[in-house]
Chain A
């Protein structure tokens, strides 16, 4: 008796199939549609919740390496023995040295230099004090150049990536001995 009760649902199920005999092809089709559609939809929803993807950009702006080229040295020629000082105006004097700094067009940079230096007499004992002055211009025009200060102010390269510098200074000749002198002028250009 118990065994009969257990198999009863199976027999009932067959009975329904037989009674719906003519509708079975349609029923199969209706069963097929959700069987194809729902699993994929459920899977998509599930994946949406289960994982998340983010794409992050990594970036770097690379500038041209900086270069400073000396176009013309300072002219200390033809100094007189009784001359007490020599002032080379970086804006007005044709004796001024000339340099060009080169970098990435339009980028900003700083210029620093050692203002006070000494030149050494290479023939006999003697030092010569000099205070350097620098003027700069993004145009290659000395007379419109701006006198620069060795501070943290920013300057900009022109569209060709150039910035012109004129080097002048005040040379104290009071204690100068005769002879040839040499020294260095150090100017540093760096991107901000």
Chain B
């Protein structure tokens, strides 16, 4: 945060008021003495001077303590305003009550935080929903248009094949195989674009289905460790967990060279932790993150989750997504 290094160009309120008060106290003492006992100024006894100075010191100290109590909430508010991070919602100013100006300020500040967090949550939801709707639309277009037309082409080719003589027939079979591969690619892409069974089944079952399907398609064996008891996540977080798991598994198949992967979803206070690890050759030193990893990071950032990428327990790569579930978030 750049504000933190900002130079302070004023004398803090506390020092200013404390200084002025101390001067006023000294002035008041001097005036009192001048009025009540003007002759005393020339002949101060040492003990009298000591009592006077001690009394003065006591007054200044009491003033400092009282003033400190008034100013401290303001400083705490400044500190909170500096460090508050909307992607980690739920932080509030303590002692917010309409009993003083500082309390009122804290109260208003808390209300503003709640409003900002709500707006952010809504915006995040809209971004994710828009993204998902677009994916669904593309998946349906792919399936209903491209996929069906390729199937029709395949049927047409099969029909022609029956009437041809070798070697043309051999060539046609190659073309057929190419169309078939494209058709399978289209189907696969359409499948990957949809959130599949998430809405119907909930996160745990949807992850199980994802793992099974992935293993079936890619030939990478997936072992799953999903805790039975997990704290409830909101819909956006579930979608992010699902998408990160999907992307991480895709990366395993594409880049790791591994033939096995582990998908784990565990309850770990203050939330849940998703890990996808593989037994592949790990991260290349100094490699640039690809679009897959960037996409995972962006999604994680939308819900304020942490995403780490490092070496797994057995040398391969590990993706770790930690989603915090705080009391307020789960109550919404």
Query: Does A pair with B?
Result: no
Residues of A within 8 A of B (CB): none
Residues of B within 8 A of A (CB): none
